[in-house]
Amino acid sequence: MPIELSTETPTSLIPLAWLIGDWAGAGVVGYPTMTEELNFGQEVSFSHDGRGFLAYSSRTWLLDAAGEKVRPLASETGYWRPAGPADDGGTALEVLLVHPSGIIETYYGAVDGPRIKLSTDVVARTATAKEYNAAHRLYGLVESDLVWVLDMAAVGQPLTSHASARLKRV
């Protein structure tokens, strides 16, 4: 399904237009502090209201061996903001994310065609949140699917692979 941008869409959003819409699929999550890798389902939405940013939301849930929903896992919401030309080509990108677990992240990176690379600049935690120090995210459009990977540094671990998923446009 092609993305339709209106005449009211800011030109700054054109590099992110391929993200706009709803996506759903599955992935895998693991970490050195986990006893085993787990499969999860995910729904992601990117939208805009005519201003120069994308609104973003994601929710995930644990899947059993048959692929059925077991329980909620994580959710995050935020904004993706184009920030002019990137130093190494493409468009600079600022991403702001909030998690109900008490974590707020600010990412800086770039979108270059159907590829996005982000790294945390700031991570803030509430007093009750788990230790979480840094993350790197990659997003790409692969065979019309949204594919992403997340590496994180948390709970005494260095930057390590944590989660990945492949989502289809819905």
The tokens for 101 are 């677990």
Residue 116: burial class (beta carbons within 10 Å; 0-12, 13-18, 19+)? buried
Question: For residue 50, which phi and psi values (nearest 5 degrees)?
Answer: 100, -15
The answer to whether residues 105 and 115 touch, using CB atoms and an 8 Å cutoff, is no
Q: Kindly give, in sequence order, each residue whose CB lies less than 8 Å from that of residue 105, ignoring residues fewer than 6 positions away.
A: 95, 96, 97, 98, 99, 120, 122, 123, 124, 135
Q: What is the pLDDT of residue 94?
A: 98
Condensed to tens digits (0 to 9), the pLDDT of residues 42-88 reads 999 999 999 999 999 999 999 999 999 999 999 999 999 999 999 98
Residues of the chain short of pLDDT 50, as ranges, are 1-2
Check residue 10 and give its pLDDT. Answer: 86
